[in-house]
Structures are given as structure tokens and as C-alpha cells.
């Protein structure tokens, strides 16, 4: 099955070269040496990334391997400036980073709708010979050439923008939770790796407020070393304000499962450990209060935790309250 979710493309781009200035000399009926009247060359077209909140994937760029902007036109006589080359604009989802494929240099980051970033500048047009006339050189017969085009391979990478990122092993109940608290309808089944692409859901809160949750494909031990699906999608966690760790109560050692997840994030990017974290113990409808109390004694002490059940709705409102409070605290700080 081919997924419509594409979060990584590599494209060869080339801006337009600048038009050459004109070295034209004016010749009129009654003045055979009227002087220089060469116009400037036009600027070459830029290659531009533009944020588009209506897009959520890079699928439209998947088969676009070359993007060329238009060259600027040469200057003309009568001080006519050449036409500016047409820009090439690439619409991308919010949350995209563009980097030079060879050097790794970050060329720009798109986070707002309508934001534009030039990733390859068009060459400036050359000056016409009119700029070079002087008392000692009244008929310059030269003009500037236009600047050359900029060409490079670039990588455009999408990192999903969400307030809360769900982190957990496959089949921990992340997709079920997202389907309950939002209008998102991710694929849900009782086997690992049901979620193959990130899913976004908007959680409605009191007083017409809301926040966004991203369901990331399940992480497995060794994901940071390239195992499973985790490595490909760990980048989407980097933009989340809060990480909601989800571990099923069916696990024999919840603290160990949590620490494995934490270690995979640390190996991928140590800065992820600076984010606020909440631990949700899922599928709690299959255990009673006594078992919850027993499990609670072995949970990590350095993280807020809550027992939930997406099937019965147990503690779901309380979890939404906790997440919203932490998001508000982040905004305030």
C-alpha cells in the first residue's frame, strides 16, 4: 500500500541567472553619437518555499526532482530594464525545514501560513553602459553581465506541528486514545504497527479552546539505531511541547517500559528530555483499584502519571485537564 503521507523529499533547484546589461549606444537622425542608453538586466527568479496551512504532506513534491526558476531578461536600448525572471514557489506544510543536501546547512524553516523563504536567490541583473559614462569616457562600450544562477540539491523535511506528542510502543492504545479525544479516525486494530504514519487530532476543551495531539508510529527498542518505524518518525516529536508517554497496564514492568522509551529519545536527540512529560497507563479498564495501587508503587517518581481507559472514558477528562494546564504553563513561561 502506498501512503499519501510523505515527510521527506530531495530536489535539485536552480534559480534564474541575471540578465546582462545592455551596451547600446544611441543613434538618432541629428546626433550620430547621442551617448550610451543601455538598460539594466532583469533579476533572475528566486526559488521560494511558502507555508500553506492547507497542506499536511509533501506528496505533491515526491516526483518533482528538478525545479528551475526563470532567467532574467537582458537590458535593452532606451534605458529599458530587462524583465525579472518568474520565481518558482513551492507550497509546503507548516513545520518544514529545508537544508542543503551536501553541507547540511539549514536554509530555512517554515512555521506560519503564507511565510516565504528564499532557498535559492536569483542572480542580480547587470548594469547597462549608461551607468559607466563619465566626463572622460562618454561612450562606454561595455556593460555588466548578470550574476550566475544558484543551483543545489536540497532536502525538505516535514516535522509535524502539534502541542502534544504520543510516545509509546506499538499497540499501547495511542490511536484509540486519539480517536476518543478528537475527531481523528486513525486505523485501529489489535496488532502492532497499525499506525504507519503520524496522525493529528484537535482536542476540544472548555470555553472553545483546543490543542493538537500527534499520534506517532510506535517506537521499539533500538528505534534510534534504525530498527522498526521509529527512527523515521522520531523527528515529529521534536516540535511537541509535551510528550505523553503511553504504556499499557498489561506490561509487567511499566517503569522499565517507560525508561526504554526515554532512552530511545535520548539517543535520538538529548534535547527531547527537556520537554514536559506525562505518563498515561492505558487499558486500565481491565484492572481494579487494588491492582492500580500496587502498580502505582513501582511507577517513576519524576513524572506525573494517570491511569486511563480510552474504551470506557476512565480519567480521560482528567488527562485533558492535566495536558491543558501544562500547555498553559508553557505559554506563561
Write out the three cell numbers for 166.
504520543
* E-strand stretches of the chain: 8-14, 25-28, 31-36, 47-51, 66-68, 88-92, 96-100, 106-110, 116-120, 151-158, 164-168, 199-204, 210-215, 242-248, 276-282, 304-307
Question: Are the C-beta atoms of 282 and 314 separated by less than 8 Å?
Answer: no
Looking at CATH, the fold of the domain delimited by 164-332 is given as Rossmann fold (3.40.50)
pLDDT at 176: 87
Ordered per-residue pLDDT tens for the chain, 333 residues: 345 668 889 999 999 999 999 999 887 777 666 789 999 999 999 999 999 988 888 989 988 999 999 999 999 999 999 999 999 999 999 989 999 999 999 999 999 999 999 999 999 999 999 999 988 888 898 999 999 999 999 999 988 778 898 988 888 888 889 888 887 665 544 444 444 567 778 888 887 888 888 887 767 665 555 555 555 667 778 888 899 999 999 888 999 999 999 998 888 889 889 999 999 999 999 999 889 988 988 898 889 999 999 999 999 999 999 999 999 887 766
Task: Tell me the pTM.
Answer: 0.70
8-158 — its CATH code? 2.70.210.12
Nearest alpha-carbon partner for 164 in 244, 272, 96, 281: 244
Domain parsing of the chain, residue ranges: 8-158, 164-332
Amino acid at each position: 500500500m502506498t501512503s499519501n503521507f510523505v515527510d521527506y523529499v530531495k530536489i535539485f533547484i536552480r534559480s534564474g541567472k541575471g540578465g546582462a546589461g545592455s551596451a547600446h549606444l544611441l543613434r538618432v537622425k541629428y546626433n550620430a553619437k547621442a551617448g550610451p542608453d543601455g538598460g539594466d538586466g532583469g533579476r533572475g527568479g528566486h526559488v521560494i518555499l511558502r507555508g500553506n496551512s492547507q497542506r499536511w504532506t509533501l506528496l505533491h513534491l515526491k516526483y518533482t526532482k528538478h525545479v528551475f526558476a526563470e532567467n532574467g531578461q537582458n537590458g535593452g536600448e532606451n534605458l529599458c530594464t530587462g524583465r525579472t525572471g518568474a520565481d518558482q514557489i513551492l507550497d509546503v506544510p507548516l513545520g518544514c525545514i529545508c537544508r542543503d543536501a551536501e553541507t547540511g546547512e539549514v536554509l530555512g524553516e517554515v512555521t506560519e501560513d503564507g511565510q516565504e523563504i528564499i532557498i535559492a536567490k536569483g542572480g542580480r541583473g547587470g548594469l547597462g553602459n549608461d551607468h559607466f559614462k563619465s566626463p572622460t569616457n562618454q561612450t562606454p562600450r561595455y556593460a555588466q553581465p548578470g550574476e550566475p544562477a544558484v543551483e543545489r540539491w536540497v532536502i525538505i523535511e516535514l516535522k509535524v506541528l502539534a502541542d502534544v506528542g504520543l510516545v509509546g510502543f506499538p499497540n499501547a492504545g495511542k490511536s484509540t486514545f486519539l480517536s476518543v479525544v478528537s475527531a481523528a479516525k486513525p486505523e485501529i486494530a489489535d496488532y502492532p504497527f497499525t499506525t504507519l504514519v503520524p496522525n493529528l487530532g484537535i482536542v476540544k476543551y472548555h470555553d472553545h479552546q483546543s490543542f493538537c495531539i500527534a499520534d506517532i508510529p510506535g517506537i521499539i527498542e533500538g528505534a534510534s539505531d534504525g530498527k522498526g518505524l521509529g527512527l523515521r518518525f522520531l523527528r515529529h516529536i521534536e516540535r511537541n511541547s509535551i510528550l505523553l508517554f503511553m504504556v499499557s497496564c498489561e506490561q509487567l514492568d511499566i517503569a522499565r517500559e517507560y525508561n526504554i522509551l526515554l532512552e530511545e529519545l535520548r539517543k535520538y536527540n538529548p534535547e527531547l528530555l527537556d520537554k514536559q512529560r506525562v505518563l498515561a497507563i492505558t487499558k486500565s479498564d481491565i484492572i481494579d483499584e487494588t491492582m492500580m495501587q500496587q502498580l502505582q508503587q513501582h511507577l517513576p517518581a519524576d513524572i506525573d502519571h494517570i491511569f486511563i481507559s480510552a474504551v470506557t472514558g476512565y480519567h480521560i477528562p482528567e488527562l485533558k485537564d492535566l495536558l491543558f494546564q501544562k500547555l498553559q504553563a508553557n505559554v506563561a513561561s
